[in-house]
Amino acid sequence: MRSALTRLAAAAIVGLSAAACSAAPAQERPANADTFVAGLGSEPDSLNPVMGYAADGGSLMFDGLVSRNADLSLRPALATSLPEVKGTTVTFTLRTGVTFHDGTPLTGADVAYTYRSVLDDKNNSGIRGDYAAIESVEAPDATTVVFHLTYPYAPILQRATLGIVPDGSLERSGFEARPVGTGPYRFVSRTPGDKIVLEANPTYWGGAPTIKKLVLAFASDDNVRATRMAAGEFDAAELPPKAAARFENTDGLTVHRVPSADYRGVMFPLDEPVTGDLAIRKALSLALDRAAMVKTILAGAGRPAFGPIPPGTTWHNPAVEGSGTPDQAAAAQVLDQAGWVRGADGVRAKDGTPATFTLMYPAGDSLRKELALAVASDAKKIGVDVRPTGLDWDAIEPRMGKDALIMGMGTPFDPDYTNYETFHSRFSGQGFFNPGHYKVPEVDALLEKGREETDPAARKQAYDALQQRVRDDEVWAYLVFLEHVYVVRGEWTGIAPSVEAHEHAAGGLFRNLAEWKPAA
């Protein structure tokens, strides 16, 4: 998925740990608490939480009612405690003395306004579906907020990471240009396509950050970010594994490899004659050498993927796992039995239709480019002609219903996150939600049961069945789960890696920059 649009999530990660590969102790220059420049690969389309900005808690400008610890467990943020969730009423009590960046006090009216604005049809929020379980929100007094749900919704506390905006702020002009939150950093300026500048909030309720000025610099091209990191322009940068390898064992730099639920895969348009044929999709999945992709493209920083929920998590169904090594003989047999016959040029055809399709990838993303080339190479061995094509996102988006795409998604939070929009027929063809037009009533029912059921065992059963059906239908050809890789200059305390979702431009290792301090 286009990472600036992704909002991914979820509960109960076990057995995953973060590893850091430390550079030599000498430093090019000391850690700088006055100004910190982070090089990021994607820029958010909006800085408004109501419109989906960092809804899962990655923003440094906004606070939610709750936030997450490094182990992904929830903790109170603007709320004084985590409320008990029973039935269809959930009540939060707010901290007192919290103010927005403009000095106005936080009240329950601000919280109610934020959630009502997400649900308001006229705002056309891209995250509205995530909050569909909320029937109404009321603020009976300044420190109390009550959520009334249409049905018991297990992930409701997980959804309470949404950043809170001031009451009436969307009706006033200028909020998007100069957003106001309660977070540890406040907005200074934005240069679209280049950077966002923030400054420490000296009156932050959680304590003023040590880093006084924060620059989020955007460069979509991986090689450009690596070059700027090497030139000393960035204090830290997110990079694909191979681009980060040059910084290993470099004085003054540390390379952090952080486990994630972030996957890459081939999204198939299911209404097209080639990619819509299940035999083509099954054969490709069998032919892919996922282990080689991990070894060569990810430099070992990842693992093979066979579904949308990563191994090592409570919600993963091990029955969908494969070996990671290709079985070209089995792939060829699937195609033969389905009537796809090799021609003189080595490309198969069926009823006059050649087994040929375009595989798009974002042109500046070197990792997705290499994955697309690897898919094409493996496909060629079984007589399928895959044509990798690098485009910018503006060109990719209108073509997703016709052409396949190397997409990225994934969440370590509740499985309702992302999967509901990715596979439910209600979202068929809605931008980056279900762009392949997957429409299966049984899958819709499983997603709805997982969302509305409160018993963990029953939810697990529903999501196990969902993963198996998605695997059987080969809706995507899942390729790899990534480790997110960062390069950091200087020595810092307070870095707390956390298992990450797909979207890490505003979160990830940088999610708690307000807690970083230069090492003594």
CATH number at residue 132: 3.90.76.10
Instruction: Report how far residue 237's alpha carbon sits from residue 256's, in angstroms, rounded to the nearest whole number.
Output: 10
Residue 41 near residue 225, CB atoms below 8 Å: yes
Q: Show pLDDT as tens, one digit a residue, over the chain (520 residues).
A: 444 333 333 322 223 333 333 333 334 556 778 999 999 998 998 999 999 998 888 889 999 999 999 888 999 999 999 998 888 999 999 999 999 999 999 999 999 999 999 999 999 998 998 999 999 999 999 999 999 999 999 899 999 999 999 999 999 888 989 999 999 999 999 999 999 999 999 999 999 999 999 999 999 999 999 999 999 999 999 999 999 999 999 999 999 999 999 999 999 999 999 999 999 999 999 999 999 999 999 999 999 999 999 998 889 999 999 988 999 999 999 999 999 999 999 999 999 999 999 999 999 899 999 999 999 999 999 999 999 999 999 999 999 999 999 999 998 999 999 999 999 999 999 999 999 999 999 999 999 999 988 899 999 999 999 999 999 999 999 999 999 999 999 999 999 988 888 875 445 799 999 999 999 7
**Residue 74 belongs to what domain range?**
52-176
Question: Would 227 be classed as within a structural domain?
Answer: no
Residue 308 near residue 410, CB atoms below 8 Å: yes
CATH of the domain at 460: 3.10.105.10
Q: Are residues 283 and 424 in the same domain?
A: yes
Strand order in the sheet with 353-354: 341-342, 348-350, 353-354
Secondary element (H or E) of residue 109: helix 108-119
Q: Are residues 446 and 317 in the same domain?
A: yes
CB atoms inside a 10 Å sphere around CB 300:
12
Q: Are residues 335 and 427 in the same domain?
A: yes
Q: Does the model's pTM come out above 0.75?
A: yes
- The three-point CA angle 149-151-152 to 5° equals 90
Where does a domain end: 153, 176, 199?
176
Q: Give the type of residue at 389.
A: T
Q: Are residues 131 and 272 in the same domain?
A: no
Where does a domain end: 127, 149, 176?
176
Q: Give the type of residue at 259.
A: P
| Residue-level pLDDT at 56 | 87
Question: Would 390 be classed as within a structural domain?
Answer: yes
Where does a domain end: 176, 198, 216?
176
Instruction: Report how far residue 94's alpha carbon sits from residue 68's, in angstroms, rounded to the nearest whole number.
Output: 17
